[in-house]
Amino acid sequence: MNTFQACWNSISCLEGWERTLRLTGVVVGLITLLGGAFTLTGAIAFYKIGQRIAVLKDPRILTKAQIEMITNALRDKPKAEFQVTSWADSEESVRYGGQLHKVLKDVGWNSNGLTRFYMDGGEPPPNGITLMVDGLHQAAKDSATQLAEVLHTLGIEVVRLETESTKPPVSSWVLIKVGRKGSH
């Protein structure tokens, strides 16, 4: 990830740029009346950064319309055993994962639980939702693929589908990992 992308996903970095643009706009406005183009560019950047900060701070939720669309899309499709695991360091992630868990249970998927996962050093937790399926069990893979397509179509989240081959005994599970809020 480059420096710009890292800053674009960081509230503190964006708030620093917002303060800098505000100060720069005031200074340029006081120094010259001919700084209109610079001031306009700064105002647009200031507005865009403010919008991005709001997106990053707003908690993810499934709207009533999205829940309805997920329900309708999955109602007559193959069901799967599933588990939703949310990033433990984020109450927002846990609430969002719980909401997704409830929707899937209501559709008839068989829950293996709602848990939290922890990250120890190394790589940061994933952005968005990762659907991990048992690659040896076609019904689970089909169910997870269907769910990933529905989530992607609704623009809900950064969705990634991963298939794992497990050693026997073969299971039919879908692990749904809800990580940090992704880029939008």
pLDDT digits (tens, 9 = 90+) for 6-19: 777 777 777 777 77
pLDDT of res. 70 = 95
pLDDT of res. 168 = 56
Does residue 111 surpass a pLDDT of 50?
Answer: yes
Does residue 76 surpass a pLDDT of 80?
Answer: yes
Question: Dmax of the chain from CA atoms?
Answer: 75
- pLDDT bin (cut points 50, 70, 90) of residue 150 is very high
pLDDT of res. 184 = 44
Q: Which residue has the higher pLDDT, 75 or 45?
A: 75
- pLDDT bin (cut points 50, 70, 90) of residue 29 is low
Does residue 139 surpass a pLDDT of 70?
Answer: yes
Is residue 81 within 8 Å of 112, Cβ to Cβ? Answer: yes
Asked if omega into 169 is within 30° of 0 (cis), the reply is yes
Half-sphere exposure of 14 (CA within 13 A, CB side): 20
SS3 170: coil
If you write DSSP's letter for every residue of 45-103 in order, what string do you get? HHHHHHHHHHHHHSPP---HHHHHHHHHHHTTSPP-EEEEEEETT-HHHHHHHHHHHHH
Backbone angles phi, psi at 3, to 5 degrees: -60, -40
| Share above pLDDT 90 across residues of the chain, in percent, rounded to a whole number | 32
Q: Which residue has the higher pLDDT, 126 or 152?
A: 152
**Beta-carbon contacts of residue 150 (< 8 Å; ≥ 6 apart):** 69, 70, 73, 74
Q: How far is CA 148 from the centre of its chain?
A: 13
pLDDT of res. 149 = 93
pTM above 0.75, yes or no: no
Of 121, 124, 118, 184, the C-alpha closest to 154 is: 184
Which span out of 4-8, 31-35, 37-41, 58-62 was modeled with the highest average pLDDT? 58-62
Tokens coding 165: 């081959």
In tens, the pLDDT along 54-75 reads 777 788 899 999 999 999 999 9
Is residue 147 within 8 Å of 66, Cβ to Cβ? Answer: no
